[in-house]
């Protein structure tokens, strides 16, 4: 589904990604952990080219991102993204937030888009919020709407960039529950997070990143119960 080869990126003289190789299979849930500044968010943002990269290759669903013939907008239709700070559109109702892209990008008729949106809102438990504006939502609700908005495009892959880091602690659970449900349904997911419990429970594979490289990867059991690398051990000892 996603093939990343020797991915490198730098901002000036600062090398953020120093050669990432990873293959993500269909329906796999890959969780990326690591200290801040390790490059994990940058890595995620390269996967839909919100961030350009300098070297290497990313192939998603058969599209080579660096190929000049690749229409990045087409790729992004298939790759949903959820941001740390939600990024809901404040000038639109929740319903319009969700239906906009299916109508304008996928060219769905309004009725179809609205039906899909209401279905997704029900799924994230917010069917009663369709006609309110984002500023009246709590953080947890806003993030669930953001997930619904991304899902409305019926993407093949979902990227999550620290989706619970900006939330009050009591709201983390409701967002993680939606993500767990999504994983159970077989969505291919790449999740950058500090929620180790989620990583252990939902992840098929955990990548530990530090200093712009993948230091160690394996099943949650391997990473959390028997980390091989010193850097992994010291990171886990701080966060667990």
Partner 1 sequence: MDFRFDIVVEYAPFFLKGVLWTIGLSLVGIVFGTVLGLVIGLGKMVQNRFIRLPFDWYVHFFRGTPLFVQILLIHFGVMPMFTAQPNPLVSGAISLSLNAAAYIAEIFRAGIQSIDRGQMEAARSLGMTHVQAMRYIILPQAIKRMIPPLGNEFIVLIKDSSLAAIIAAPELMYWGRAMQGQYYRVWEPYLTVALIYLILTLSLSKLLHRLERRYDA
Residues that bind partner 1 (CB under 8 A): 48, 50, 73-74, 76-77, 79-81, 83, 85, 87-91, 100-101, 104-106, 146, 149-150, 153
Shortest Cβ 154–partner 1 spacing (Å): 11
Name the residue nearer to partner 1 (CB basis): 87 or 222.
87
Residues sharing a CB contact under 8 Å with residue 204, sequence separation 6 or more, in sequence order: 28, 29, 30, 219
Of the candidates 105, 98, 92, the residue with the CA atom closest to the CA atom of residue 123:
98
Shortest Cβ 163–partner 1 spacing (Å): 13
* Plot region of 222 (φ>0 → left; ψ -120 to 50 → alpha; else → beta): alpha
* Pairing status of strand 2-11 against strand 55-60: antiparallel
User: How many Cα atoms occupy the beta-carbon half-sphere of 237 within 13 Å?
Assistant: 7
Shortest Cβ 103–partner 1 spacing (Å): 10
Name the residue nearer to partner 1 (CB basis): 86 or 208.
86
Name the residue nearer to partner 1 (CB basis): 105 or 239.
105
Shortest Cβ 69–partner 1 spacing (Å): 17
Shortest Cβ 228–partner 1 spacing (Å): 35
CA distance 40 to 211: 9
Phi then psi for residue 190, to 5 deg, are: -120, 120
Name the residue nearer to partner 1 (CB basis): 18 or 66.
66
Name the residue nearer to partner 1 (CB basis): 130 or 145.
145
């Amino acid at each position: 589904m996603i093939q990343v080869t020797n991915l490198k990126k730098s901002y000036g003289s600062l090398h953020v990604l120093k050669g990432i190789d990873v293959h993500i299979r269909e329906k796999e849930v890959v969780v990326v952990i690591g200290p801040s500044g390790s490059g994990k968010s940058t890595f995620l943002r390269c996967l839909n080219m919100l961030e350009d990269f300098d070297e290497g290759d990313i192939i998603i669903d058969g599209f080579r991102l660096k190929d000049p013939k690749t229409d990045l907008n087409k790729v992004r239709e298939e790759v949903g993204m959820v941001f740390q700070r939600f990024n809901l559109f404040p000038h639109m109702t929740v319903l319009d937030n969700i239906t906009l892209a299916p109508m304008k990008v996928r060219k769905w008729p309004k009725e179809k888009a609205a039906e899909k949106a209401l279905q997704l809102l029900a799924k994230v438990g917010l069917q009663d919020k369709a006609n309110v504006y984002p500023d009246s939502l709590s953080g947890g609700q806003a993030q669930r709407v953001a997930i619904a908005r991304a899902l409305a495009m019926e993407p093949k892959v979902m990227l999550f960039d620290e989706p619970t880091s900006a939330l009050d602690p009591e709201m983390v659970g409701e967002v993680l529950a939606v993500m767990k449900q999504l994983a159970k349904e077989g969505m291919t997911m790449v999740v950058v997070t500090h929620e180790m419990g989620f990583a252990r429970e939902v992840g098929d594979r955990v990548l530990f990143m530090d200093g712009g490289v993948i230091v160690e990867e394996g099943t949650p059991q391997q990473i959390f119960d028997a980390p091989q690398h010193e850097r992994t051990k010291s990171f886990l000892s701080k966060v667990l």
